[in-house]
Amino acid sequence: MAQPTPTIPDGIEAVQHHNYPEVVPSPALLSGKESYTPSSGPQYALPVSPPEKKILGLRRTTFLLLLLLILVVVVAAVGGGVGGSMAVDNAYKRGLAEGSATAPTPTETAPSPTATSDRVSAPPSEGILALDCPNLSATTNDVQIGGTKTTFRATCGANHPGNDMTLLPAYSFHDCMLACAAFNAVDGLGDAKCVGIHFNAKLSLLSSNGGNCWLKSKLGNVELSTDKETTNLMIAGQLLED
């Protein structure tokens, strides 16, 4: 009986895959475009408010309010300066009219120039103001503020040292009394009150001391000048209560 011939394999055969399901590529891969994923979508940043503008380190509104306040103060200062200059000029003219002038009378008088503007000339800072001493001693003198009369008793060559509330320029004894009465007419000063004054007719005190009219909060012992040259250049005024 013939023996069966053994079958020797010829090698590894390629397996045919035409009977298996094929992988179909996606249209996005065929077209060369990438598919959308949440990580690859367009990114939108939240709107950021621009920083508020600052001027000199201050918020814009704060700076504008501060600027407005400065303008108000400057305008008030300018207006007060002009009014004060006119008041000083008028006071100086009244002071000269209270007594005779010490300067010699010129032989010829030049015509006064016609005023062309509202400018006020600066008052002098040297010389002696008119003061009718010793005739003013023991007299009573009245000033009025807003219809209210205030009376002072005058003493030539006298002073009440100390208790000075303030010092200011004045161009007559009358204006110094007026300053005391005006101080008392101001509301909101509490117990502060002017009860007397000391006035000196020497204009040089304006530059050396800053004024020649002292307002007194109290009247202590009175001192009378013994210097003949200065006795009639100073005067004290005591407020008389109603």
Domain boundaries, the chain: 55-97, 140-240
From first CA to last CA, the distance across the chain in angstroms is: 171
User: Scanning the structure block, which residue is given the tokens 């011939």?
Assistant: 5
How does the average pLDDT of the chain come out, rounded? 74
For residue 199, how far is the Cα from the chain centroid? 30
| Whole-number pLDDT of residue 204 | 94
| Whole-number pLDDT of residue 70 | 59
CATH code for residues 140-240? 3.50.4.10
Higher pLDDT pick, 193 / 115: 193
Residue 216 has pLDDT above 70, yes or no: yes
Q: Kindly report, residue by residue over 86-132, the tens digit of the pLDDT.
A: 655 665 566 656 554 444 455 555 555 555 556 666 677 689 999 99
Q: Kindly report, residue by residue over 79-92, the tens digit of the pLDDT.
A: 555 455 565 566 55
Q: How far apart are CA 24 and CA 26, in angstroms?
A: 7
| Whole-number pLDDT of residue 129 | 96
Compute the C-alpha angle 104/109/115, nearest 5°.
115
Q: How far apart are CA 198 and CA 46, in angstroms?
A: 76
Most confident of 15-29, 109-123, 207-221: 207-221
| Whole-number pLDDT of residue 102 | 47
Residue 78 has pLDDT above 50, yes or no: no
Percent of the chain whose predicted confidence (pLDDT) is above 90: 40
